[in-house]
Amino acid sequence: MSTFTVPPLHREGWRFVGLFAVGAALLFWLWEPLGWLGVILTAWCAYFFRDPARVTPNRPGLIISPADGVVQMIQPAIPPAELGMDQRPLTRISIFMNVFDVHVNRAPVDGEVVALAYRPGKFVNAALDKASEHNERQSIHLRARDGLDICVVQIAGLVARRIKCELSAGRNVRAGERFGLIRFGSRVDVYLPDGIAPLACVGQRAVAGETVLADLKSDESARLGETR
């Protein structure tokens, strides 16, 4: 028999929920119908900052999705120049998060943080291809335990105005480990190592910490998918 449980709140969300709750109380004081609208918005805020547990596959070599959302694009692209990585095109998987998705980001592999680079920018729709180049972003260079390099980029979106990354250079991370979040609606790009084919498909819904995007130990070609 399954039981419903309320997922915990990410610590970044408590102050926002508190502010929304105070606002709801003020609206009740002004006019009761507005107060109930405030209650709904407070509940939505708590829902946005939810941080559910995830079951992460722990076989070495797997690249796990760092974000919840829809795989928007899979295409060749050059990693962010500010990381100092080789400027050859790599396969980039772009995952778009809408305001109803979980926004806690998780490490895609076991490995070491080689470098971090923040770059300010615009706030165009994160679903657009140009968002990878022009939007505010936090880039992360990871080195998996087998020595292959992976790049993860947190990208601000149309309504996202805050990227939070808790990593530091030299830190070791485990696949599925929480490392930050973006509020409120955004995108995360994953650049695969050269020669590694994606196992995810465009249009597929990814789950942070659970969905396998690629396998460093596989020689399988890129997968194709269709809506059924």
**Omega of the bond leading into 49 within 30 degrees of 0 (cis):** no
User: CA-to-CA distance for 188 and 180, rounded, in angstroms?
Assistant: 11
- Mean pLDDT score of the chain: 88
Q: What is the pLDDT at residue 127?
A: 61
Query: Does the pLDDT of residue 1 top 50, yes or no?
Result: no
What confidence category does residue 2 fall into, taking pLDDT thresholds of 50, 70 and 90? low
Query: Does the pLDDT of residue 209 top 70, yes or no?
Result: yes
Q: What is the mean predicted confidence (pLDDT) over 132-151?
A: 89
Residue 75 identity (one-letter amino acid): Q
Q: Where are the beta strands (DSSP E) in the chain?
A: 62-64, 69-77, 90-97, 104-106, 111-119, 137-144, 149-156, 162-165, 172-173, 178-183, 186-191, 205-206, 212-215
**How much of the chain, in percent, has pLDDT values that exceed 70?**
90
- Mean pLDDT check: name the lowest of 31-35, 87-91, 178-182: 31-35
User: CA-to-CA distance for 138 and 189, rounded, in angstroms?
Assistant: 10
Q: What is the pLDDT at residue 124?
A: 62
| pLDDT tens, position by position, 53-102 | 999 998 989 999 999 999 999 999 999 999 999 999 999 999 999 888 99
Residue 89 identity (one-letter amino acid): P
Query: Does the pLDDT of residue 213 top 70, yes or no?
Result: yes
Q: What is the mean predicted confidence (pLDDT) over 130-157?
A: 87
Catalytic residues: 186
- Mean pLDDT check: name the lowest of 76-85, 122-131, 179-188: 122-131
Neighbours of 166 (CB within 10 A): 11
DSSP state of 13: G
User: Which of residues 135 and 122 earns the better pLDDT score?
Assistant: 135
Q: What is the pLDDT at residue 129?
A: 65
CB-based contacts of 53: which residues, under 8 Å, 6+ apart? 7
- Give the 3-state secondary structure of residue 72: strand
Q: What is the pTM of this model?
A: 0.88
User: Which of residues 67 and 220 earns the better pLDDT score?
Assistant: 67
Q: What is the pLDDT at residue 214?
A: 95
CB-based contacts of 99: which residues, under 8 Å, 6+ apart? 48, 159, 184, 185
Query: Which two three-digit tokens encode residue 188?
Result: 């995360």
Q: What is the pLDDT at residue 161?
A: 63
Q: What is the pLDDT at residue 10?
A: 78
Query: Which two three-digit tokens encode residue 187?
Result: 């995108």
Query: Does the pLDDT of residue 119 top 50, yes or no?
Result: yes
